[in-house]
Amino acid sequence: MMWMLVTRIAGSLAAASNRTRNVCITTQISLQIYRSIQQKSPTLFSDMSADVTSGLDATQVNLLAEQCILIDEDDKVTGFETKKNCHLNENIKKGHFTNTCCSHPLNSPDELDEVQAMGVLRAAQRKLGHELGIPPQQVPLEDFHYLTRIHYRALSDGRWGEHEIDYILFIQKEVDVCPNPNEVKSYQYINKEQLQHFLHTAKKDGTPITPWFQLIVDKFLYSWWDKLHDVDSLKDHDTIHRIL
């Protein structure tokens, strides 16, 4: 199996006091979906500059207006909020290498569907099209494997942030890739050994890697990779792994 490694133009977001649903996709294609949790404080942004979108283009600003799904620590829906408000408090991971694609399931009937994580799968399929130009018929919903969930948090520069429950899904398909230049700077397919070498070299050279991708690599990825011939044996829908 080959893994798709991407340099981000603008990575996923999520606030330190919010948790939202999010999508991360990786390989040929591995897909991580993560959800954020918890209602934000009404005073979270009162002391922050109003011009938090400075430097973003019109497309990126519009994406920040999308309605994310707020959840509690047990992954139960508690409300909804804009992506911008969910993610204020830490930094967008621009120019970082990461898994293939990241975003949030949205406040819509299709993506709120909890049955067999269908809302998460639909969000993943949607974002594969948006970020990588992969047609939905090449990544049908029934071919995704939902493995488990990860509760994750990363701090950054005080403006944007991430505090999420990430859904991990795998899909292995032959696909046509046409990256969205607003989302992806570059990409490459690498196998397990090449990824190990790349990450080892990145640490020495200071090449930036997104924190969520590094955590998944360190805790899970290589053991999962060894069992791709039997993906169903990796499924654990009852556990939320706390990596905080």
Query: Could you give the 3-state DSSP secondary structure of residue 150?
Result: strand
List all residues 6 or more positions away from 2 whose beta carbon is below 8 Å from its beta carbon: 27, 28, 189, 190, 191
Rounded Cα distance between 167 and 152, Å, is 11
Q: Is 35:21 a contact under the CB 8 Å cutoff?
A: yes
Q: Which amino acid, one-letter code, is at 72?
A: D
Give the 3-state DSSP-derived string for 69-117, with helices as H, strands as E and coil as C: EEECCCCCEEEEEEHHHHHECECCCCCCEECCEEECCECCCCCCCCHHH
Which residues are tagged catalytic?
A: 102, 164
User: Starting at the edge strand that comes first in sequence, how are the strands of the sheet with 30-36 ordered?
Assistant: 101-103, 21-25, 30-36, 162-170, 145-154, 240-243
Residue from 54, 49, 27, 55 nearest 147 by CA: 27
Q: Is 133:29 a contact under the CB 8 Å cutoff?
A: no
Q: Is the dihedral of CA 197, 133, 55, 102 positive or negative?
A: negative
Number of other CB atoms surrounding residue 226 within 10 Å: 11
